[in-house]
Amino acid sequence: NAVGTYTQISTQSGGAGAHWDKVGETVADNWTSYVQESSSSYKVDTYNIANHSEGSGIINHVKVFINVAAQGVSIKSKVAIYTHNNLYYGDEKSPYTDFGADTFDSYSKQWDTNPNIGQAWTWQEIDDLEVGVALCNGETPWPNIFCTQVYVEVNYTP
């Protein structure tokens, strides 16, 4: 729902905006709105999420999803989270699609515990959590990698 600590990804669809509004839709809109990167090194965006308005109890895990597409074979992406002033990443993934095709790949990373402290997540940590994406193009200056959606699911036992 807002800009996070990291705003390194260089390009977004539609010109002005704050990146988060290009990846924050409930249903992925693919090529309608996205962030895009062409750098040969990883660039990361993190986004604030709304404070929880429902739910209480024991948090079983946090799972972050990204929907990405790429043009080229050396393209890489990772799920990212920012907690306790540190970045943590999921596994590196390499999507591929033709530009304009409705083929975005969905990747996720699940954290059963907060990676900073190795203990169960607290609701305050969920409220403070930033979720995001890291994008890298191994074939600079072309092609590019695109992310159209980033979202988080919090699984808990009431």
pLDDT by residue (tens digit) across 78-111? 999 999 999 999 999 887 655 555 578 899 999 9
103 versus 19: which is more confidently predicted? 19
CA distances from residue 118 to 11, 111, 115, 122 in whole angstroms, order as listed: 35, 10, 5, 12
- Are 87 and 60 in contact by the 8 Å Cβ rule? The answer is no
Tens digit of each residue's pLDDT (9 = 90 or more) over 110-153: 999 999 999 999 999 999 999 999 999 876 666 688 899 999 99
CA distances from residue 154 to 129, 133, 136, 142 in whole angstroms, order as listed: 11, 18, 27, 36
Cis peptide bond upstream of 115, omega within 30: no
Q: Indicate the Cα dihedral angle 31, 81, 83, 35, nearest 10°.
A: -30
CB-based burial label for 142 (10 Å; 0-12, 13-18, 19+): exposed
For CA atoms 82, 84, 85, 86, give the dihedral sign. negative
Instruction: Provide CB contacts within 8 A for 32, sequence distance 6+.
Output: 13, 148
Q: Give pLDDT, residue 96.
A: 66
- Are 151 and 64 in contact by the 8 Å Cβ rule? The answer is yes
β-strand partners of 148: none
What pTM was computed for the model?
0.91
100 versus 42: which is more confidently predicted? 42
